[in-house]
Amino acid sequence: MPWFVIYTKSRSEKLVADKLKEKGIEVFCPILKIKRKWSDRVKTVEEPLFRSYCFVRLEEQERSKVFDVHGVVRYLFWLKKPAIVRDSEIETIERMLGTYDHQAIKAERYELNTPVTISSGAFANATGEVVGQQGNELRIMLDSLGMVLKVDLAKTQVVLTPP
């Protein structure tokens, strides 16, 4: 069964994931544990890695089941077809969240640009496209997710992909 990407209402990712699990739908909502500082304390909070997105695994003919859950807006489409994420990419995200400091992980959307291959770290051998750089922080779009990961060049090696 393929993994589909669903778009949720803002700040409803975890609630939607819980409700989909209750309905027996396999769902993956990658969560980051981040320390937030207030004037009087520091607290660890959970935030979704990809804001307003969850991944669901179900058969094509069962895709309409997700709309029974309040907070699901629509499926994400790519080239007029529902976006599908490979199992290997879901596994890579799970491995990354289990291995690396969550403070260093960020994801954002950007435009496509130069092709690269990550040669070390959790995303070793993953290909993507550079969409920006600020100091030691390189932003790379993963090919099939359409999401950008911020990579710390002090900790991860990235090489240009030959044409």
pTM: 0.64
| Segment 83-100, tens digit of pLDDT | 999 998 898 888 888 876
3-state secondary structure 62-111: HHHHHHHCCCEEEECEECCEECEECHHHHHHHHHHHHHCCHHHCCEECCC
Region 144-160: mean pLDDT is: 76
Cβ distance 105 to 95 under 8 Å? no
Q: How is residue 70 written in tokens?
A: 């309040």
For the chain, domains (ranges, CATH) are 3-86 (3.30.70.940), 106-160 (2.30.30.30)
Whether pLDDT at 154 is above 60: yes
pLDDT band at 156 (very low <50, low <70, confident <90, very high): confident
| Segment 26-79, tens digit of pLDDT | 999 999 888 888 889 989 889 898 889 999 999 999 999 999 999 999 999 988
What are the residues facing 133 on neighbouring strands?
A: 138
pLDDT of residue 110: 37
pLDDT of residue 114: 77
pLDDT band at 135 (very low <50, low <70, confident <90, very high): low
Whether pLDDT at 108 is above 50: no
pLDDT of residue 111: 41
Contacts of 128 (CB under 8 A, 6+ apart): 115, 116, 118, 140, 141, 142, 143, 149
